[in-house]
Chains A and B, each alone.
Chain A
């Protein structure tokens, strides 16, 4: 489903990603952890071409991304309908209702008929537990509700891969559970997901694999039992040690 080969990226003189290679198969849920500034967000953004990279290659959901090319318009469009993204700050469109937020992309990108898009939006809202809030504006929702709408919006494009960048970090602790529940549900449904997170139980209970990213590289890659319980690298030991405290 995803294949990353010798990916390198620098911002000016500072190397942000150094020689990252990884494979993800369909249905996996990868928890990406690591110290701040390690390059987690950057890696995620390279996977759906929000950022470009300098060398290497990414093949994701059947689309091949090459260095520096933002990619031709058609490639990008194909890529982004197949790879959804959920942001730490939700980034819902404040001028649109919940339903319009969800139906916008299907309607204008894939020319789905409005009625069909609306029906699908209601299904997805039902799935994230917000069936009755379809006509609310984002500002009328709590943070947890907004993030669930953002997930429904990403799902509306019927993606093969979902990327999450710290989906619960902007939320109060009591709202994290509702978002985690949706992610858990998606994992159970076989969605392929990469989730940058600081939530321990996502790494231990939901993820099929955990990547520890540090200084631009994947320092450790393996099942939770191995990476979280018996980390080999110093950075992973430090990181999980700190979280347990």
Chain B
């Protein structure tokens, strides 16, 4: 049984999850720290210690079951499939009650009533969602707010964190943000963002619930009873008041489970195929332009490092170390969000620039290696014929170095094609992001995953083939030696 608990497998006995929890004395719940304050976050004084109103609720709930609560870190958009797979006992992290989720897992009675709140820039001419037709509206991926936006004629812009939607609203990259009132009050209409106002009037009401597997009715019942008891004896109110979240909505009546808005794809149809093709288009476009930027940057850096004076050498070295030694994700964040107050780039421009600057550092090393691999005699022969340094580089060294560099360059391009999936953090919906959205909508990874893989291959294989031909052409004079 210890093994069973460790690998988190599901037992056929419906009573056993609750029995197992009691036996091991621990109730595990899946949640995502990225949700941050006030839900669940690390104590800044002691990061091993968690804070947040959901942590308090879980502790109280576990106590009422006679056990201890333990958080398991999972990406928020994967909480439901991970619960179904059996990675933890319950899912508890701002999980909204929706008809869609009710089909997949058992939803508890609510522990919180939220309101979808629309935030806009101060003075903007928008008063309701209807005023925003055709405009870019930010929200979190796969939330109820996302579904509401999908049912409207607006362009949803998807984020993974709570800060970024409002940062982009301030930067005028979006016209509004639709999110839970908790998030809106904490990250949106706050004194440090005087430009942002939260509009009165709830766009929709909804509830946060705890998810259990459909095979665990006993556990679901125990949790429902515990929540009801917490509500009855005032512990829930105390916890919510402590987090400054108590309001008139919490006393009921509770809103109905939101009916299926009918906006989520249910099969991989022509519409989906079109969206995937569009995602692949972004992937290819961003990768190609980023590489076109990376190649000249790499050449300049390589020439500076191999032939430059001390200053140029040093500067090029710093560039390479900086861009190669830090995560490209961080560079994208800095470029898109960090520099925004001074230099506000569009998401696609920032994606191309970020990947191009980053890959420039890698290309620099490829070309440097190739240049260092050139025999000295080539330079001497060119010099002796009167060619200047740049002429020698351009007519003699670069063409030969290119031939050496081509295989690693092809490699880098294919790798860039895949790394371009990182630009979804700056709201570009490229191929991989499209796949993850479809996987949640279709409730399965298989078909979207296959489609995504096939499209990546369809992009990379012709490119490697092209590179292979180019290589053959360039290397006419260098047949491989027989061994």
Contact = CB atoms under 8 A, between A and B. Distances in A.
Nearest to B378: A91
A139 B478 CA distance: 8
Contact of B381 (A91, A95, A109): A91
B399 A105 contact: no
A94 B383 contact: no
Contacts of B377: 87, 89, 91
Interface string B363-396: 0000000000001011011111111100100011
B171 interface: no
Contact of B383 (A50, A92, A154): A50
B385 A154 contact: yes
B45 interface: no
7 contacts: A76-B386, A80-B384, A87-B380, A94-B478, A109-B387, A150-B381, A154-B384
B384 A137 contact: no
B385 A157 contact: yes
B274 interface: no
Interface in A133-169: 137-140, 150, 153-154, 157
B474 interface: yes
Interface in B448-478: 474, 476-478
B378 A108 contact: no
A105 B387 contact: yes
B385 A105 contact: yes
B386 A157 contact: yes
A227 interface: no
A56 B208 CA distance: 90
A90 to B, nearest CB: 8
A239 interface: no
Interface residues of A, number: 29
Given A87-B377, A95-B399, A95-B403, A108 B387 contact: yes
A84 interface: yes
B315 to A, nearest CB: 24
Interface string A73-94: 1001100110011010101111
Contacts of B396: 93, 104
Main secondary structure of the interface of B (DSSP, over half): helix
Given A89-B377, A108-B391, A95 B474 contact: yes
Given A85-B381, A93-B381, A157-B385, 10 more contacts: A48-B384, A50-B383, A50-B384, A77-B386, A91-B375, A91-B378, A93-B378, A94-B478, A95-B400, A108-B391
Contacts of B400: 93-95
Interface string A225-239: 000000000000000
B403 to A, nearest CB: 7
A157 to B, nearest CB: 6
A93 to B, nearest CB: 6
Nearest to B479: A139
Interface of A: 48, 50, 73, 76-77, 80-81, 84-85, 87, 89, 91-95, 104-105, 108-110, 137-140, 150, 153-154, 157
Contacts of A95: 399-400, 403, 474, 477
Nearest to A81: B386
Nearest to B399: A95
Contact of B477 (A85, A87, A139, A154): A139
A231 to B, nearest CB: 32
Contacts of B386: 76-77, 80-81, 105, 109-110, 157
A210 to B, nearest CB: 24
A80 B385 contact: yes
Contacts of A73: 388
B478 A109 contact: no
Contacts of A81: 386
A23 B384 CA distance: 22
A69 B395 CA distance: 26
A150 B378 CA distance: 12
A76 B383 CA distance: 9
Nearest to B475: A95
Nearest to B476: A137
Nearest 7 pairs of A and B residues by beta carbon: A91-B381, A105-B385, A80-B386, A91-B377, A85-B384, A109-B386, A137-B477
A87 to B, nearest CB: 6
Nearest to B381: A91
Given A50-B380, A91-B381, A93-B396, A77 B388 contact: yes
Contacts of B395: 104, 108
Contact of A138 (B380, B399, B477): B477
A50 to B, nearest CB: 6
A50 B386 CA distance: 11
A137 B377 CA distance: 18
A138 B381 CA distance: 14
Contacts of A157: 385-386
A77 B384 CA distance: 9
Given A50-B380, A87-B377, A91-B377, A104 B474 contact: no
A91 B387 contact: no
A23 to B, nearest CB: 23
Contacts of A110: 386
